[in-house]
Structure 1
């Protein structure tokens, strides 16, 4: 029922309207009345009516003044103005204030009911429109995340919804709310959570969101600045998450996807966020299991996870067995039949490996199935040999994933290499200028180039420049400083240092010895600083 409040300074009119209408039967709830606008304001605040009926001519605060205050403070309230003064200026001012209906006294009960039903119908239609709009917005966001809508269709739909969708950068975060009291789950809780998140993010980035399930919100963060989105994500991981957990007495599980520069990339970020949330949940469950392990079972075992993750990134299959043998040696004392501590350590290592792999390359839709399969293998470990076999399997599976994901950025890599081959002699070439040329963010470009080629963009630029320098040293009589300038180095001393680190000899020695064999130094010795 729509709640109605009446404001009129004539008590006879108030009593007549109150008693001559069967409010409940007509679908309305009569909250009460007041003699003037000043007296009505606290009642409006307390009763939160849907419809305000007010006279114009009243002492202290007249109807137009009351309407002005209500429109500013409670814009959803519909206002019906009654007036005994048939003057155009009153109607004109009422229209300017956004009054819903304007009628002349005296007004009969039948006329007032007709107006009330008209206003009520307008309110229902507006609510239906808003619900339809909200559902369409949620569907658009869900389709973008699910990869079910193309760029042009998404832009067209967003325009029809007056939804600001365009930005330079996008990222997806999934918020899973786990209440300590499950009976309190409600859509209202998710809306309250969303309000906190919108407030927290509004300073830095724009937030679009939809409800994915009864416990989950999907957040689309967008901005023209990478730093702004990263600031929001860091807050979400830190103090914003803690604030939500304290406010609603719950646990928050987050999943965060990578930064993307195209609308179609939202789908990739969504898949990564979903995978990250899944791994985070399993990690929390695994840590909870540690509390159930008896103190005497927690052996003094130290597994160097960083060493394993580095080998996963850079190691070769040929060195796999020897690496695993050395890495797993601290697990030799574990009695797999009487202690669960070894299972905890391997499970934790597996989840951390998948988390890192998810950051390096997209894992695919069946990554959760792989994790479950690997966890089953962990449970079946009975001795140290089984443990080593498992670690080899883990490395093989993730390496296969890396190989399967390669090649999809070949066009971008070709663009980078082509640009470097044309611009290597320009001292101003940097990661920033290259990323601007290929229209991909510097952080993402750096990631995919390293992933696809096995070297950084800086290393590749240095390699191209030094190869060109060797060619000039062999085929021209140019002095060292001239060669340096022609390959993009304005400082000949710096060029000589880089040349020696890369080739093992100075430019002068290289020229005097002819085509000297190339000595590849460790990658950390040829890194040339890039100035953005």
Structure 2
């Protein structure tokens, strides 16, 4: 059985060392995954290591244990917190109770007492994990799915099979009270190829669905149902920019599902529409977003509006629907899938044509499909096709192998152009973020959340994109930029450290000195003295 991960937080390194050595962690079913000397560093470790338990002191510099506990309760409610302190004061205990902290111990920590607490905590964690994966409870829950009529209605809605004149009547009949003004669709796809040993894929999928209901549905006004093995949410939105907050929440859920349940979940977030009747458009874009997991990875949320330039996201025209498998392969950029889809188009061509006139018409539709796809995605069809003269006539005269090769070549060229457009869009986003840092590094309250709000993207997408493009996290980039400015000011001015700290966005001079020393190895004063 995998051991539960613990992070130790105390401003005294000797205390951390003592606790780590005095407790038989492995025997108790735990492992010390890391340690930190203040709450700020602890939060960084929590994001990176995703621990099950945080054992923290209360009195620490920069961020104390109570503030750390408040942040953990808000951002990582599944983490168990254990507080210890040398200050036996009622106010601390009262705040600990308010934060629903189950363990509150006095320093010096007694090894026997802590071991007993960890033993009890392991029983609790085991029980919670067993409940999530208990086959009997999952089978019972399987019988409690949403009412069949309502599920059938939403399935018909996303498939586009509800007639406009029946729409309002069905809403009333199935008691669907969603007034908008905006709507969106999210698909949660649970991989059947990555299932914990001994677990049935269907039961794992149902377990994921259950957790989605418990952890996400209360945050938004939405309806949930199962379709084609995936969990779907149809959401009611107040504003279009709310979709970025939803993306971040779904991203956190996907990472949690993998860490706790071993489920590989990918969330696809569709576009926003202004009518529930048009939710099928959002569903198609959400399904497309899920398919991008081959490029962007699993165990995360993918917002189609962030990875595909907005001008490329347009409703599918009915005459183009026959080539959607090929177009989806083009967007993803998988050569194997492109070739398979091209052969699929040829099979349909031969299956559905019996005369030469039908064959010629079908080849013209293929050319037209490429032309419309290029136009919708702001690409030059003539340049991509090599400025071929009389293209409709020449394509219709190709033999089977030549036509197949032409379709593959066109598809791969278009796919490469789309990839370049995405990369260009990503680079523009990073440059915009870096320019904001240059203009506003001196503002103490500048944050990742604010940058994402200005750029109109989710934290999860921007963070992964920035790290990929810049080679470091955004916070690290901001910190390094501030420190470089500070170092220059220290060398070229006689201003005090606290003044320089304020000018580069640090209200706490002590914390500024701590960050500066972490980067340059010496304090600001010693840095200035070393070059004089």
TM beyond 0.5: no
Please say which structure displays the higher CA radius of gyration.
Answer: 1
TM (norm. structure 1) is: 0.37
TM-score between the two structures when normalised by the length of structure 2: 0.37
